Amino acid sequence: MPRLIIISNRLPVTIDKKDGELFYYPSAGGLATGLNSLDTDMERIWIGWPGQEISDTTVQDQVKKDLREDGLVPVFLSQQEIELYYEGFSNETIWPHFHYFTQYTTYNDDYWDAYQNVNTKFATIVNELIREDDFVWVHDYQLMLLPAMIRKAFSKVSIGYFLHIPFPSYEIFRILPWREELLEGVLGADQIGFHTFDYMRHFLSAAYRIGGHEHSFGKLAIKKRMVNVDVFPMGIDYDKYAFPEREVGKDKVEAHVTRLQSKKRKLIISIDRLDYSKGIPQRIKSFEQFIKKYPQYRGKVTLMLIVVPSRTKVDQYEKLKLEVDTLVGSIDGQYRTFGWSPIQYFYRSFPFDELAALYKAADIAMITPLRDGMNLVAKEFIASKEESKKGVLILSEMAGAANELTEALIINPQDSNDMVEAIVKAIEMPEEEQERRLVKMQEKLKRYTVKHWASTFMNEQMNLKSVKERNTTNLLNEEKKTTLLEAYQKAEKRLLFLDYDGTLMGFQNDPKKVIPDEKLLNILEGLKADPKNKVVIISGRDRHTLEEWLGHLGLDMAAEHGVWIKRRNEWKTPDLKKDWKPDVRHVLEGLVERTPGSFIEEKEYSIAWHYRMIDKGLGEKRVREFRDVLLYLTANLDLQVLEGNKVVEIKNAGVNKGKAAAYWLGKDSYDFTFAIGDDSTDEDTFRALPEDGFTVKVGLGNTDARFNVLDVENVRDLLEELQK
Ligand code: GDG
C-alpha cells in the first residue's frame, strides 16, 4: 500500500521543554488542516524541522520516539544551519527575491552552501524512509532542491511540489546566481503546483529560458520524464471561520464581538505578519491621507492594526518595525482626541477566538500587500461574514487571492489615492451591495476549500502516476521484445520502415549536422545484408541529402515524406506540381528577413521554414502572422501547411509517409512488417501497416504504434539485436 509522505520545513508541532520535560503542541495551520481532511486510507508521514534547536542526542531520540506515534519525523537542525539555511538563504535570499524585493536579496555563498546541505540532510532522511510506490509531496521555498535529490535515489517515485509564495517573472528570477540549481531542483518533481496562473507562467518561462525545457499546455518533457505544471489555489477551512463558536464556544466569541462593536464606530482591521511584502507602511499612510482628506470621518472610523511579530532577528524587519511604530505614533499624536484614537496598534498575535471575533466584528478589512503568494486572511475574513452578510474587503491586486476574490474592492497598494477612495467606498457601501459581493465570494470559498485544494493536488498526482504507468506498459520490455524477435526469426520475407531524424539519429539544432555515424552505417548494412529483408528509410528529408548520406548502402528510400521514392536504385516521383514554390518562397523569405536566426529549407516539392535556433515564442508569433497569408496563397493549389516541431512545411496535399509505406506494401507480400519513428508524420506509417505489423514509437506520448521505446539508443540496440 503506497503511503503519503509530506515534507515541509516545519513540522505541524511546537515543542516546549520545561524542567527537563518535553511538551508537544500541535499547530494546525492551513496545510495540516487540508491534509488531515483528505479522504484516503493511505498512511501519512510528515517530515520536517520541529522548530527549535535540539542538540542533545538523547533528547533527539526521545523526540523521535514521541513524534513517531503521530506519524511525524523530525529533521534536527543546528543553530548554525537555522541561521544560514532558514534565516539566511530561505528568508534573506529567496523570500525577498521572489516577492520582488530585489534590493533586500542577500547574495551569500555560505547561505547557499547551508541551503544545499540542509536540503541534502532532508533528502538523506527521506531516502531512508520512502519506498518507490509512495506519494511524496514537498512544500515551499525552503526545499526547492529536494525533489531532484529524491529523484536521484528513486527514479520512479511520484513526487509533487507546491510553492506557497509567488514565483517571480523570469527577468527577476534570472538575477539569482543559483537560478539553474533551484529550477532543476524543483523539476525533479512529477507535478509542480502554484497558487495562480501568473506564477505558473513565470515558472514555465524560466524553465524554457534557463533550462531550455519546452512545455505544451504546462507539460514538460525532462529527460524522458513528463512533468506537469498546474495551478492549485489554496483555500481555507471555511466552517472554522464561518462558525468559530463551534470550536471555541458561543459566549466567548460573542463577548469579544460585543466589546469590539460597542463604540458604534466603523472598524477597519488589518492583520499581517511583520513583513515588508505586506505593505504595512503604505497602508498606514493611506489611512492618514484618508482622515486628512475627509475630516468628516474623524472620530467615526478606527483602524485596528495587528502586526504579528516575525523574523525579528533579520535587519530589515527591525527597521520596518521602527518605521511602523513611528508612523502610528505620529498619526496618533496629530489626530487623537479624548474619545478617539485613529489607530489601535497591536504588535502581537491573538488566540484563535479573538481573531475570529475580530473578523466578525470588523466592517472593513484592508489587506493590501505589495506581494503575497495567496493571503488566507482575506479569505478567512470573507468566511467570517457567513451569517451577517455585512462587511467589505479592500484587497491588493498583488495578492494571489485577488484572482478569486474578484468582488472585493481591488486596489493597487502603491497607489495611495486608489486606497483612500476605496476606504470611502467601503464605508459608504450600501448593505445590499455588501451582501451581493460577499455571497459571490463565499460561494467560491465554500467550494474551493483547503480540503478541495489538497485533494485535487493529490488526485492529479495519482492520475499522472497511472498515465505514466499506462504509457510505460507499452514499453518494449524483455517479454515483448522476445515476441518481436521470434516473429522476426520465423519470417521469410520482411519489410522494415525506418525513420531517420529522432529515430536512427538524435535531434540537433543544425539539421545538416546529423550525418550518419559509423555505428549506424554498420547497423543498416547488417540489416541490408540479410536477403530476407527489405529495408526502407522513410524520411521528411530531401532526396539529395538522403542519397549523399545513405545512397551507397543501396537501400530503398522515401524522401520528403514520400514525394520521392527510391526503389531498385532509381528515384521516382508522382507527377506533382512545383510551380507554386516561388510565391511561397517569397513569403518565407520575408519571414527570414524579419526573424534573424530562422532559415528556409528548400526541397524539390516542398519548402520548410525552420525556427529551431530562435525563441520559440517569437517563432510561434511569426507563424501565426504568416499562416493566414500562407493559407490564402495555398488555398486553391492543393497544398498543405504542416506545423511541426519548430518548423512549418508547405507541400503537396495527399503525400505522406503512410501513402509511401502503402506503395511498398502493395508491391509484394511480406510475413513480417516493422515500422519505427518518433514524430507525428510517422503515425501515418504506423497506420498503414497491417494489424499484426510491429510498430514502434520512439519516446513516450500518444501514438498508434503498438510499442514504445525511450530513445535513439534503444532503437539502435533493437536493430542490432534483430541481426543476432
Ligand atoms: C504563505 C504565503 C500563502 C495570522 N495572524 C494570526 C493568525 N494568523 C493566521 C491567519 C492565516 C495565517 O496565519 C496567515 O496566512 P497567510 O496566507 O498570510 O500565509 P503564510 O502561512 O504566512 O504564508 C501566503 C500561504 O503561505 C498559504 O499558501 O497564502 O501568501 O506567504 O491563517 O489566520 N492566527 C492567530 N492569531 C494571529 O494573530 N491565531
User: Cα(231)–Cα(415) distance, rounded to whole angstroms?
Assistant: 29
In a domain, 683, yes or no: yes
| pLDDT tens readout for residues 389-436 | 999 999 999 999 999 999 999 999 999 999 999 999 999 999 999 999
Q: Among 57-66, 416-425, 590-599, which is the least confidently predicted range?
A: 590-599
What is the spatial order of strands in the sheet that 639-644 belongs to?
599-602, 606-610, 647-652, 639-644
SS3 letters for 56-84? CHHHHHHHHHHHHCCCEEECCCCHHHHHH
Q: Residue 138 pLDDT more than 90?
A: yes
- Residue whose Cα lies nearest atom 26 of ligand 1: it is 164
In the structure, what pLDDT confidence band is assigned to residue 644 with cuts at 50, 70 and 90?
confident
- 375 C-alpha to ligand 1 centroid (Å): 7
- 442 C-alpha to ligand 1 centroid (Å): 19
Residues whose CB falls within 8 Å of the CB of residue 713, separated by 6 or more in sequence, listed in order:
none
- Phi, then psi, of 487 in degrees rounded to 5: -65, -40
| pLDDT tens readout for residues 186-195 | 999 999 999 9
Residues whose CB falls within 8 Å of the CB of residue 123, separated by 6 or more in sequence, listed in order:
146, 149, 150, 153
Domain boundary among 628, 654, 680: 654
Nine-digit cell string for 182 = 533551484
User: Cα(4)–Cα(424) distance, rounded to whole angstroms?
Assistant: 49
Short-list 684, 576, 696, CA closest to 639: 576
581 and 681 share a domain?
no
Contact 266, 301 (CB under 8 A): yes
| pLDDT tens readout for residues 692-705 | 999 999 987 778 99
In the structure, what pLDDT confidence band is assigned to residue 7 with cuts at 50, 70 and 90?
very high
Domain boundary among 654, 680, 700: 654
Mean pLDDT of 324-335: 97
**Burial level of 477, CB count in 10 A (0-12/13-18/19+)?**
exposed
Question: Could you give the number of structural domains in the chain?
Answer: 4
Longest pairwise C-alpha distance within the chain: 107
| pLDDT tens readout for residues 572-582 | 987 788 888 88
Q: Is 719 in the pocket of ligand 1 (CB under 6 A)?
A: no
368 and 417 share a domain?
yes
684 and 631 share a domain?
no
- 216 C-alpha to ligand 1 centroid (Å): 34
303 and 313 share a domain?
yes
300 and 382 share a domain?
yes
Q: Is 678 a catalytic residue?
A: no
In a domain, 93, yes or no: no
- 377 C-alpha to ligand 1 centroid (Å): 6
pLDDT > 70: percent of the chain:
99
Question: To test ligand 1's pocket by mutation, which of 195, 359, 377, 382 has the most ligand atoms within 8 angstroms of CB?
Answer: 377
Q: Is 358 in the pocket of ligand 1 (CB under 6 A)?
A: no
In a domain, 394, yes or no: yes
User: Cα(4)–Cα(93) distance, rounded to whole angstroms?
Assistant: 30
Domain boundary among 209, 231, 253: 231
Contact 311, 271 (CB under 8 A): no
Nine-digit cell string for 416 = 495611495
What per-residue confidence (pLDDT) applies to 39? 74
Residue 666 Cα to chain centre, angstroms: 49
User: Cα(20)–Cα(557) distance, rounded to whole angstroms?
Assistant: 82
> How many other C-beta atoms lie within 10 A of the C-beta of residue 573?
16
225 and 244 share a domain?
no
- 638 vs 189: which has the higher pLDDT: 189
Q: Residue 242 pLDDT more than 90?
A: yes
In a domain, 531, yes or no: yes
- 19 vs 79: which has the higher pLDDT: 79
Q: Is 370 in the pocket of ligand 1 (CB under 6 A)?
A: no
Q: What is the crossing angle of helices 712-722 and 518-529, to 10°? A: 30
Task: Indicate the SS3 state at residue 597.
Answer: coil
Find the CATH number of the domain harbouring 162.
Answer: 3.40.50.2000
Q: Among 124-138, 204-218, 372-386, which is the least confidently predicted range?
A: 204-218
Nine-digit cell string for 461 = 498526482
**Burial level of 266, CB count in 10 A (0-12/13-18/19+)?**
middle
| pLDDT tens readout for residues 81-129 | 999 999 999 999 999 999 999 999 999 999 999 999 999 999 999 999 9
248 and 289 share a domain?
yes
In a domain, 406, yes or no: yes
256 and 315 share a domain?
yes
Short-list 137, 153, 241, 140, CA closest to 191: 137
| pLDDT tens readout for residues 107-120 | 999 999 999 999 99
593 and 690 share a domain?
no
pLDDT > 90: percent of the chain:
74
Short-list 417, 258, 443, 263, CA closest to 337: 263
In a domain, 284, yes or no: yes
Q: Residue 545 pLDDT more than 70?
A: yes
The CA dihedral of 387, 392, 394, 397, to the nearest 10 degrees, is 60
In the structure, what pLDDT confidence band is assigned to residue 312 with cuts at 50, 70 and 90?
confident
Q: Which atom of ligand 1 is nearest to the CA of 348?
A: 38
Write down the pTM of the prediction. Answer: 0.81
Q: Which atom of ligand 1 is nearest to the CA of 30?
A: 32
- Checking 251-259 for CB contacts under 8 A at 24+ apart, the result is 252/353, 253/353, 253/356, 253/357, 253/360, 256/353, 256/354, 256/357, 256/358, 256/361, 257/357, 257/360, 257/361
In a domain, 459, yes or no: no
Q: Residue 438 pLDDT more than 70?
A: yes
Q: Which one is catalytic: 134, 190, 372, 499?
A: 499
Q: Which atom of ligand 1 is nearest to the CA of 380?
A: 33
406 and 504 share a domain?
no
Let me know the angle formed at the C-alpha of 228 by 223 and 233, rounded to the nearest 5 degrees: 150
254 and 224 share a domain?
no
Question: To test ligand 1's pocket by mutation, which of 274, 374, 403 has the most ligand atoms within 8 angstroms of CB?
Answer: 374
Distances (CA, A) of 398 to 11, 380, 409: 29, 18, 13
Q: Residue 28 pLDDT more than 70?
A: no
What is the spatial order of strands in the sheet that 556-559 belongs to?
570-572, 564-567, 556-559, 533-538, 494-498, 672-677, 694-698, 707-709
Place of cell 505558473: 200
Find the CATH number of the domain harbouring 601.
Answer: 3.30.70.1020
135 and 218 share a domain?
yes
Q: Residue 323 pLDDT more than 80?
A: yes
In a domain, 85, yes or no: no
| pLDDT tens readout for residues 245-295 | 998 888 888 878 888 877 789 999 999 999 999 999 999 999 999 999 999
- Structural domain span for residue 137: 4-76+119-231
Q: Is 367 in the pocket of ligand 1 (CB under 6 A)?
A: no
Q: Among 49-63, 628-642, 645-659, which is the least confidently predicted range?
A: 628-642
| pLDDT tens readout for residues 198-229 | 999 999 999 999 998 888 778 888 876 889 99
